[in-house]
A and B are shown apart, each in its own frame.
Chain A
Amino acid sequence: MGEKSTLWNFEGDEHLNKASACTIRSFLTTVKENLNQNDDRPVIPLGHGDPSGFPSFRTAQVAEDAVVDAVRSAKFNSYSSSLGILDARRAIAEYLSDDHPYDISPKDVFVTVGARQAIDVLITVLARPGANILLPRPGYPLYEARAVFSHLEIRHFDLLPEKAWEVDLNGLEALADDKTVAMVLINPGNPCGNVYTHEHLQKIAETAKKLGFLIISDEAYGYLAFGSNPFVPMARFGSIVPVFTIGSLSKRWMVPGWRLGWILMSDPNGILQKHKITECVKSYIDISSDPSTITQGALPQILKRTTKSFHSKTLNLLREAADTCHAILKEIPCITYPSRPQGSMFLMVKLNLPLLKDINDDIEFCIKLAREESVIVLPGAAVGLKNWLRITFAVELSYLEDGLERIKAFTLRHTKTE
């Protein structure tokens, strides 16, 4: 890059560059740069969260048909209302109402360009001078990026590995003050693979109410719970504390590229309305881009017609993959594995560094693993826990087994021999 010239009055924005510096992508790029081009074996990608490329994880036929029908109908080429096409909002409301004590109104649903935009909207709306937000550690770094960008102070509360990654409620209370506007909860969990119980979620709701902040419940992996804990939507506790739920088609239907998400507002007591939050959400959505009308048009069909068997098949695949991980990882001495995943597509494992020679941290582990075994995993530093690793198990089973065996071989090779 050349020298900045005084002839030109425009310049890039440092603040923006800072906010966008630490993304999962940037960590994975660093790791991937170390792949050995001469290794003939296929690269096993256990670092990112996108199984859509694998044949076992192809989306429902119904979903593909619905999108094709929508575009052929010529009824969905026009601009839509910024909050979303009414039929799409209605379809999401009905879909979510299945699991809800009362019927959700379409007026409480806003369609967004994937969960990513939902995060953008909520962080932007809540940011005020002096305010702070409570984020989980480990967590999903887009929250950090957007909070930095919006000048919203970040405070991290811990998730406890020894308690199946439950929220450290005492820690949470100690962090909050009168400027805390919200906390973020990711359930089912990314990166931890946890699924919270009803009791735990209720305690969180009561804590939030006591301290005066609202809850952003990131349920991008909603319903992807294959263990003993059923998935409980946080919206159920909307009468205790206002809840914004973030959801999308991306994970349950394996179509992150379709960019169709939503925000659900659960606030029967009208608190968000009274504090002008609702108005601000709508205003910001009004000056932002909208999701493709094609997918919105297809949404009612997708949500109504996707069969239970498609969803069960997905859960079975994930469960089998998680079991495979468990079987192999528990045999690796330098990896400790505090909690079996119950949902989502990820699990976190801790590196026992003293047992390893010439590997000093998680990033070095991942770089060498890529170079020697052509396997990609995510260094825990990317999600806030240094010297841990995040492993994606939503991968074709044969690849997963191969990848885990290679990890095992790698660790054996690098284990100290005394």
Chain B
Amino acid sequence: MENGGPIRWRFGGNDELTKASAITIRGVLNTLMENLKPEDSRPVIPLGHGDPSAFPCFRTTPLAVDAVCDAVRSAKYNGYGSTVGILPARSAIAEYLSKDLPYKLSPDDVYLTIGCTQALEVILQVLARPNANILLPRPGFPYYESRAGFCHLEVRHFGLIPERGWEVDLDAVEALADKNTAAMVVINPGNPCGNVFSYEHLKKVAETARKLGILVISDEVYDHLTFGSKPFVPMGIFGSIAPIITVGSISKRWIVPGWRLGWLITNDPNGILKNQGIVDSIVGFLNISSDPATFVQGAIPQILKNTTNEFFTKIVNTLKEAADLCYDRIKDIHCITCPSKPEGSMFVMVKLNLSLLEGIKDDVDFCCKLAEEESVIVLPGVAVGLKNWLRTYKRHLIRSSLWLSIGMPLLDNSKLLGWALENAALNVCYFAGQVFGTIEFGDSQIFGVGADFSVDKHQ
């Protein structure tokens, strides 16, 4: 030691922080990745993570890219913006969302955030008064639990009912709520269940919230990504029954989760959120926090105005094909049941029948062994609150006959052959083709660029 005696350092870590971040999807996926066999030369198939942007068939529209480039080149968006977001972007989003609502949102109802993630940070922090609690769906999205834990906001879970298309168990909601309950969360279209709620059901949710004196946080990050019989219904429609805070972003509909542009909307024609001091607190939080990149904000009006219906339809159709394929193949897998055909988002929940499997004790074990033996990653249901279920990501299940053109300089306009993957329990086949793009997980890349691989089919 430099001066002879030991130094007493006065700073130290905070256990609560490490606890809060322990249960995240990233954390669980990292554990599964550790089981991958490096000597397996097949590409890893990632069906655990919710990010299709690396795949050419899910590339964002060039119009969005142009909008960002224009914003950067204009040099008008290099400065600080207002903490609630620049006005042109907020106006554009207000107009975009108002199309589906019976009333008009004002730009002041729109707060721009660093992705939907920050929108959640804001609302959870604002509601976290001493002794407050919040009602979360099970299964759900574990970021809510993590962040609520960090804010000391107590969480209580209500069930979603698998045999009723994963509808909210409203009786359970009423039983859980007490005078300290500030809000309930609904995720629609659903993550992880892939369900889409009906108009009638959402109305009942709003009425229940009103009866209990709570607000509804409607997580609509997968908005409009529906391909089944039920259309997407924004919860904001019921803003006059109970105040609705909608959180959303461009991440999923435009397939650009890395751009980090989201929003928090106050759907509250009766001005309750203002009276209760919620609006002031939202602004207060944003005043001491960072903001989304100004040039992405600057691109928003152009992105919202110019993106064509063709682009949206294409994405939704790709999802539909993948969902149909997934559901059909799963029907043939004897130890897995899917109680509810996915109608939206990018995920489906399937139940494991462990009694039919030998040497596999639970969902985590299934996923670890699947990673090890077949280089396929799916998310064990325990990560989203349902043990012995799996969340699988149906994005990549593209029919072999689906041709896509990509403009990557490496390959000179050549086309990508899709491939179909079946679950390891039956048979696995890959089609010859080329794989592009990389996905990072922590410090490693699990998908190579430009790799050729051959047909490999086994029973």
Contacts and interface: CB of A to CB of B under 8 A. Distances in A.
Interface of A: 1-5, 7-13, 16-17, 19-21, 23, 25, 48, 50, 52-53, 58-59, 64, 67-68, 71-72, 74-82, 85-86, 112-114, 116-117, 120, 124-128, 131, 142, 145-146, 149, 178-182, 209, 211-214, 240, 254-259, 271, 275-277, 279-280, 283-284, 286-295
Nearest to B298: A257
B13 A64 contact: no
Contact of B17 (A77, A125, A212): A125
Contact of A4 (B17, B21, B276): B276
A178 B275 contact: no
Interface string B269-306: 00110111111110111011111111110000000000
Given A257-B293, A280-B14, A80 B7 contact: no
B60 interface: yes
Chain B interface size, as a band, is 35 or more
B403 to A, nearest CB: 19
Given A4-B277, A11-B276, A25-B287, A78 B17 contact: no
Given A10-B214, A77-B60, A81-B443, A146 B288 contact: yes
Nearest to A240: B2
Interface centre among A21, A48, A287 (most CB of B within 10 A): A287
Contacts of B125: 13, 16
Contact of A257 (B81, B281, B443): B81
Contacts of A10: 127, 132, 182-183, 214-215, 276, 278
The 6 closest A-B pairs by CB, nearest first: A12-B277, A276-B13, A257-B294, A293-B258, A20-B284, A12-B281
Interface centre among B180, B293, B443 (most CB of A within 10 A): B293
Interface stretch (B110-118, B373-381, B423-431): B110-118
Nearest to B58: A77
Contacts of B439: 78
A3 B65 CA distance: 46
Contact of A259 (B2, B17, B214, B291): B291
Contacts of B275: 1-5
B432 interface: no
Interface of B: 2, 7-14, 17-18, 20-21, 24, 26-27, 49, 51, 53-54, 59-60, 65, 68-69, 72-73, 75, 77-81, 83, 113-115, 117-118, 121, 125-129, 132, 143, 146-147, 150, 179-183, 212-215, 243, 255-260, 271-272, 274-281, 283-285, 287-296, 408, 437-443
Contact of B259 (A13, A181, A292): A292
Contacts of A50: 79-80
Contacts, number: 277
A124 to B, nearest CB: 8
Contact of B260 (A125, A280, A289): A289
B276 A289 contact: no
A64 B75 contact: yes
Contacts of B73: 64, 68
B11 A259 contact: no
A68 B73 CA distance: 8
A212 B276 contact: no
Contact of B12 (A13, A124, A256, A276): A276
A8 B296 contact: no
A8 B77 contact: no
B347 to A, nearest CB: 15
A293 B75 CA distance: 19
Contacts of A293: 258-260
B77 A257 contact: yes
A9 B17 contact: no
Given A125-B17, A292-B258, A293-B258, A52 B78 contact: yes
Given A72-B69, A286-B21, A293-B258, A19 B276 contact: no
A207 to B, nearest CB: 13
Nearest to A26: B287
A258 B71 CA distance: 12
B79 A78 contact: no
A195 to B, nearest CB: 24
Contacts of B213: 7-9
B116 to A, nearest CB: 9
A8 B241 CA distance: 12
Nearest to A53: B79
B114 A290 contact: yes
A279 B75 CA distance: 39
A16 to B, nearest CB: 5
A145 B9 contact: no
Contacts of B260: 113, 289-293
Contact of B214 (A9, A19, A23, A86): A9
A142 B53 contact: no
A117 B292 CA distance: 11
A67 B182 CA distance: 42
B59 A74 contact: yes
13 contacts: A1-B277, A8-B243, A13-B126, A16-B284, A77-B53, A77-B60, A78-B51, A81-B442, A82-B26, A113-B260, A142-B288, A257-B293, A283-B21
Contacts of A16: 125-126, 281, 284-285
